[in-house]
Amino acid sequence: MDSNLVWLNFVDTIPVIACGCVLPIVFIWLETRRKINESRDRMQIVTTAIEKHPDMDVEELMKKISSKKKSLKEKLLSKLLWGCITTILGIGLIGFGIFLINTISKDTQKIHMADDVQTAIAFGVVLLGIGIAFLINYGIGKKMLAKEIEAEEKNMTTQVNP
């Protein structure tokens, strides 16, 4: 096998390895680091407040400075949003792959281009599947959690308007 061909195949796999392995690890590391920094900042605020005012109610202060949890409705709407985004991206990639199939010329690039078409369609199918799963999750969650969402909204309105 020609060494240039081996090198080109290796270079072609670098983006796949970077996107499939390195990128998720970097995202997880960044998110973990952000949460640790937020926690450290909250603890520093509480420590400073206790030093200045020892008779302060710590639980009330923690409630005020802690990040607010998302409501069930917000979580469901987030799933709907991500479902729509990934479904549209999946359909777009599948459409792009079909477009490439129809426009491939009969030159020497055909074999290399066929790999790109297969990759685009494969990623499109995966994204479409993930999007449909999010949308199904949203639909089922909306039906199952309707009473809980209604109770949560009533609870929030009574807290705002006592």
What is the pLDDT tens value at each position of the chain, 162 positions in all? 567 777 777 777 788 777 788 888 999 999 999 999 988 988 888 888 888 888 888 777 777 777 777 788 888 999 999 999 999 999 999 998 888 777 765 555 565 667 778 888 999 999 999 999 999 999 999 899 888 888 888 877 776 665
pLDDT for res 136: 96
pLDDT for res 159: 66
Q: What is the pTM of this model?
A: 0.62
Furthest-apart CA atoms within the chain: distance in Å:
81
Q: Identity (one letter) of the amino acid at 162?
A: P
pLDDT for res 2: 67
Residue 107 CA neighbour count, 13 Å, CB half: 5
pLDDT for res 36: 94
pLDDT for res 88: 97
**How far apart are the C-alpha atoms of 162 and 73, rounded to whole Å?**
22
pLDDT for res 126: 95
pLDDT for res 4: 73
Q: How many helices (H) and strands (E) does the chain have?
A: 6, 0
